[in-house]
């Protein structure tokens, strides 16, 4: 029984872009990359349908996500710093420092 392969997004995008270019047939691409032609057609369709989203968002949404993630990371750093200070004070009697 063969195992299903999971391809990363970069691989799918690369194959789909080559399919959109049309320099080689889908059958040639399938043989070259070792995937089924149906998968290439699905990736090409997803690429063409999702391409308009890139221009609608304008990159603003990713900046907001990064900002939120940055706040969460700073909060976690603060919590860890407080815990580290607490533990270092409590361990001083046993370490002799």
**Cα dihedral value 25, 28, 31, 32, nearest 10:** -110
pTM as predicted: 0.56
Q: What are phi and psi of 78, to 5 degrees?
A: -60, -45
Closest CA to 29 of 44, 8, 15, 48: 15
Alpha helices (H) in 1-97, listed in sequence order: 9-21, 26-33, 37-57, 60-95
> CA 19, CA 59: separation in Å to the nearest integer?
26
CATH label, 1-57, candidates 1.10.287, 3.30.519, 1.10.357, 1.10.10? 1.10.10
Rounded CA-CA distance 85/90 in Å is: 9
For the chain, what are the domain ranges? 1-57, 59-97
Q: Is the pLDDT of residue 86 over 70?
A: yes
Residues 30-66 have pLDDT tens digits of 999 999 999 999 999 999 998 888 777 655 555 556 7
């Amino acid at each position: 029984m063969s195992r299903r392969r999971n391809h990363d997004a970069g691989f799918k995008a690369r194959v789909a872009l080559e399919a959109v270019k049309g320099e080689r047939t889908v059958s040639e691409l399938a043989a070259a990359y070792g995937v089924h032609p149906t998968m290439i057609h699905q990736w090409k369709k997803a690429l063409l349908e999702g391409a308009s989203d890139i221009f609608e968002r304008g990159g603003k949404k990713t900046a907001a996500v990064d900002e939120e993630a940055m706040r969460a990371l700073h909060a976690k750093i603060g919590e860890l710093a407080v815990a580290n200070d607490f533990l270092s004070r409590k361990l001083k009697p046993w370490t002799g420092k």
